[in-house]
Amino acid sequence: MTTVLTRMVARLLLVPVLMVAAAILIKGYVDVGDGFAAGVIAALGVLLQYLAFGRAAVERVLPVRHAPKLAIGGLLVALAVAFIPVLGGQAPLQHAPAPGAEVIHLGTLELLTAVAFDAGVFALVLGMVVATIHLIASTVEERGEQP
Amino acid sequence: MRLLRSSAAAGAAAVALAGAAAVAVVAVWRSGGAGVDVAWLPSWGVRLAFRLDGLGALYGLLATGIGVAVFAYATAYLPRHLEHDERPQAEGRRFHALMVLFMVAMVGLATAQDLLLLFLFWDLTAVASYLLIGFDRQHREARLSALMALLVTGVSAVLLLIGILILRAELGTTSIPALLELAQGGPAVTLAGALIAVGALAKSAQAPLHFWLPRAMAAPTPVSAYLHSAAMVAAGVFVLSRLHPLLATSPVLLDGLLVVGLVSMAVGGLLALGEDHLKRLLAYSTIAQYGYVVTMLGVGGAAGVAAACFYVLAHALAKSALFLTSGAVTEATGAKALSQAGGLARAMPALAVGSGLAAAGLAALPLTVGFFKDELFFKAAAERGPWLAVLAVASAALTFAYVTRFWTGIFLGPRRRPARALPGRLVLPVVVLGGLVLAGGVVVAPFAALSEDAAQVAAAAVAPVEAAYHLDLRAENVMALATYAAGLAVVAGRPRFSGALAGAIRLGRRVGPERAYIAGLAALNRMSNAIHDVEMRDLRTRVVAVLVPAGVLVGAGVAVTPFEGAYLVGSFTRSDLPLVVALAACALAALVVARLRRHLALALGLSGVGFSLAVAYELLGAPDVALVAVVIETLFMLLFVAVFALLPRAVLRRETRLAELGSRRIRDPIVGVVSGLLMLLVVWAALSRPTPTDTSAARQLDLAGQAHGKDVVTVILADFRGLDTMVEVTVVVVALLGVAALLRRGKLW
């Protein structure tokens, strides 16, 4: 079992890790990082909770059971961004707003279809990793062995 | 009970559909034909073009009209068949649906006006026939037969596709009318025609690719009756007729058809004469009968093509009735072979009369439509030359002999088994088809008109079908009389040469093409197993199986590349020192990994390699790559550890021991060192020659601003190469499904 110190660090780190992931996602278009890296970082934050508290406790406290839905939803967002332009006769992943046109800013966040695509990738990666962790953890538990 | 009803409803719906389709085909044909033509693949110039012309009407009417009879028969046959095999009645729905699918595929094939479209329906018939022949999937025999039919006709369909693509490359179109207009002969067109002909001949079960057809008799009787009289095998000669003007540009092709047809006539006829099993006898007869058609297409000209079209029509009517008869006889008495049947004429008079008419048609007796099929055949053959006339009479005599043997064997002679009463739906289709054979012999005009229209398309010229009785000693009549005489002689003399015939058939089985097929299939299986054994024994062997061929290729590349100037050693400054330290750490970690044996230590060592590499990326000025490397290494290490907990201890210990085996201790380091060195040489050579012509990086940097981005790596991933990313993330979800399937039986949570 983990020590008090590990559990405290894990609990303290969760929110900052998720913040960092969000920052990397939002700043992806202007700075280092993208949806994929952000998704893995957020998933690592969740994985840390699994390591510190065990599967049952984490799944009681955090809404991780939505992970498969998150992964599939992220895939659907990415597919929608890619193929909705095709319905209008444009190329897949066609930009909106168009290159050079004016973009709506929310702070440093620029509202672009490509950013939505990246957000889809983020959701997909986060959901996929958390779901995989859950699958492995519950299988290990079932077989009566400690990870 | 409810399921039974719905299965019966499906059967009734199939009959109704086939009937409506048959009426529609006749109506459209009578009104002079009609078609649709809409754009489909504009960039390939392929159109969704269908047209019901004379040829389409002939084959469409065969598929739908005989479909009505066979489907009606199946509604009575199938419930008994399923009950006999102790299978749920609900499976009948699947059967009827597949039969209708087959009919639709045939009508589509008959009306398609584009070769790619034609190929599509061609393969649809192959798929439907595979499922139908293998309908009794609990029997190994049925499964193997279905596979054989699929492989023989499917592999040859690839030749058909290659032929189509050659035509497209040569003439620039796949539209059939345009192709027939453009084709002027030449080696490319001849090659394409030959490939198409091979595909078509395999489908029509012509020698030497005939062996799948008798095997396919493992199917339920309605399937045999439908696929092997009016549909599946007819598809082959249909394509030959459809493209006949194109094939006719090359005399060599026509002569080839003539030879294949004659050989098939002889092989099929002799095998039918020696066969005891009812359905297989008819299958061999089908091979021979389609041999006639192929021969006449090979004779060519208006007369040959007209004879071929009429022959297909007359044969399909008679042969489907005979197939249905064999099924009814088996159902009533349990007899599956001639030696078990006999003397049933009194017990089943209606069946005897109906199948007797059909048999008379196949044997070309006067007052049946079959008489004219042989008249036209004899006429076309006699025009070609006396040698062909002799061969024609000889094979017609064989037909006469085995048809006589089939019918008399079932209905005359001593009664061997008691016969149960049969439901009307098992007898009526036979009587109707037999009646049609008789009607065609009395009033031949509608049959002649249909095949005349078909022949006009196939010959691309007016091709009159002159079917009438002449009471004089013209060549055809003399040949017909000679046929009857010779046929009776064969029937009478059969006991004397049956031993020799059986010996010849045994010899053919021992050295024939079926033997080659089985040997080829077994050899392919053995090769696949051998490769699998070498490659998949364990993880290390699998890695070796990738590294060694790759190393050989890379080594060959290195060997032929000029050495001079390929491996530059650049300058070294103090600022490179951190990078060297990071790479040295990476190399050290890699060496340590090679020495480690325990799995946990291996995972930790590998992530040590990864983290050192991430430092190197950062130092090289690739922060995006470094970030991803760090987070992925962390995640992978943790997941590795978690997965080790899932693996049984015994597996881990076995893998560890394998690595310590004597042979492995030598092989693994050598493979690793050599492939590493080769990789070093390749990377070194690549880095020694920067390619200044590649400006894509500069262009992407430039475009990133226009795409509202400042981090070019993210812009490339989410925008420039976004389609790649999209496919990759889709794979991620598929991987998740795979994990769920392996660990939790597919439950995602």
ipTM rounded to 2 decimals: 0.90
Q: Which of A44, A124, A145 sits opposite B635 (nearest CB)?
A: A44
- The pLDDT of residue B696 is 74
Sign of CA dihedral B304, B306, B309, B313: negative
Nearest CA distance, B561 vs chain A (angstrom): 39
Contacts of A78 in chain B (CB under 8 A): 725-726, 729
Across the interface, whether the CB atoms of A72 and B733 are under 8 A apart is answered yes
Q: What is the mean pLDDT of chain B?
A: 87
> From residue B371, how far is each of B264, B468, B650 by CA, in Å?
21, 10, 77
Q: Which two tokens stand for residue B708?
A: 């509202």
* CA–CA dist A32, A34 (Å, integer): 7
Residue with tokens 């025609």: B193
Contacts of A145 in chain B (CB under 8 A): 645
Nearest CA distance, A52 vs chain B (angstrom): 13
Residue B464 is given by DSSP the state: -
* Tens of pLDDT, residue by residue, chain A (147 residues): 578 888 888 889 999 999 999 988 888 777 887 888 999 999 999 998 988 888 888 889 888 889 999 999 999 999 998 888 888 778 787 777 777 677 777 776 777 888 888 899 999 999 999 999 999 888 888 876 544
CA B32 to chain centre: 34
Q: What is the pLDDT of residues B370-426, one digit of tens each?
A: 899 888 898 888 888 889 999 999 999 999 999 999 999 999 888 888 888 888 888
Residue B225 is given by DSSP the state: H
Contacts of B703 in chain A (CB under 8 A): 99
Share of chain B above pLDDT 70, in %: 98
Q: From the CA atom positions of chain B, what is the Rg in Å?
A: 34
Query: By the CB < 8 Å criterion, does A118 face chain B?
Result: yes
To 5 degrees, how large is the angle CA B584–CA B588–CA B593?
145
Nearest CA distance, B621 vs chain A (angstrom): 11
Contacts of B739 in chain A (CB under 8 A): 131-132, 135-136
Nearest CA distance, B689 vs chain A (angstrom): 29
Query: By the CB < 8 Å criterion, does B641 face chain A?
Result: yes
Residue of A64, A83, A82, A85 whose CA lies nearest to A128:
A64
DSSP B333-396: H---BGGG----TTT-HHHHHHHHHHHHHHTT-TTSHHHHHHHHHHHHHHHH-HHHHHHHHHHH
Q: What is the pLDDT of residues B29-79, one digit of tens each?
A: 988 888 888 888 888 888 889 999 999 999 999 999 999 999 999 999 998
- The pLDDT of residue B402 is 92
* CA–CA dist B338, B409 (Å, integer): 6
> From residue A113, how far is each of A94, B701, B722 by CA, in Å?
8, 19, 11
Query: By the CB < 8 Å criterion, does B670 face chain A?
Result: no
Q: Which two tokens stand for residue A55?
A: 């599967």
Q: From the CA atom positions of chain A, what is the Rg in Å?
A: 18
Q: Which helix (H) or strand (E) holds B661?
A: none
Distant-in-sequence, close-in-space partners of B106: CB < 8 Å, separation ≥ 6: B59, B60, B62, B63, B121, B125, B231, B234, B235
Residue with tokens 């000693």: B473
Q: What is the pLDDT of residues B624-640, one digit of tens each?
A: 889 999 999 999 888 88
Distant-in-sequence, close-in-space partners of B363: CB < 8 Å, separation ≥ 6: B370, B399, B400, B403, B404, B487
The counts of H helices and E strands in chain A are 5, 2
SS3 label, residue B467: coil
Q: What is the pLDDT of residues B80-107, one digit of tens each?
A: 888 888 888 888 888 999 999 999 999 9
Q: What is the pLDDT of residues B147-158, one digit of tens each?
A: 999 999 988 899
Sign of CA dihedral B381, B383, B384, B389: positive
Residue of B507, B501, B300, B269 whose CA lies nearest to B397:
B269
List the single best residue of B706, B714, B728, B734 to mutate versus A (max A Cβ within 10 A). B714
Query: By the CB < 8 Å criterion, does B83 face chain A?
Result: no
* CA–CA dist B475, B383 (Å, integer): 10
> From residue B82, how far is each of A125, B86, B420, B466 by CA, in Å?
50, 6, 18, 46
* CA–CA dist A32, B624 (Å, integer): 5
Cis link prior to B208 (omega < 30° from 0)? yes
Nearest CA distance, B37 vs chain A (angstrom): 23
Q: Which two tokens stand for residue B241?
A: 């007729």
Query: By the CB < 8 Å criterion, does B721 face chain A?
Result: no
Q: Which of A82, A92, A128 sits opposite B736 (nearest CB)?
A: A128
Contacts of A45 in chain B (CB under 8 A): none
Mean pLDDT of B575-603: 87
Across the interface, whether the CB atoms of B729 and A92 are under 8 A apart is answered no
Question: B121, B108 in Cβ contact below 8 A?
Answer: yes
Confidence band (pLDDT; 50, 70, 90) for B118? very high
Q: Which two tokens stand for residue A103?
A: 């973009």
* CA–CA dist B484, B398 (Å, integer): 10
Q: What is the pLDDT of residues B493-545, one digit of tens each?
A: 888 888 888 888 888 888 888 888 889 999 999 999 988 887 777 777 788 88
Distant-in-sequence, close-in-space partners of B134: CB < 8 Å, separation ≥ 6: B142, B143, B145, B146, B147, B219
Confidence band (pLDDT; 50, 70, 90) for B4? very low
Query: By the CB < 8 Å criterion, does B732 face chain A?
Result: yes
Q: What is the pLDDT of residues B677-690, one digit of tens each?
A: 888 888 888 888 76
Query: By the CB < 8 Å criterion, does A48 face chain B?
Result: no
Distant-in-sequence, close-in-space partners of B524: CB < 8 Å, separation ≥ 6: none
Cis link prior to B386 (omega < 30° from 0)? no
Nearest CA distance, B706 vs chain A (angstrom): 5
For residue B623, the chain A residue with the least C-alpha distance is A32
Res B668 pLDDT > 50? yes
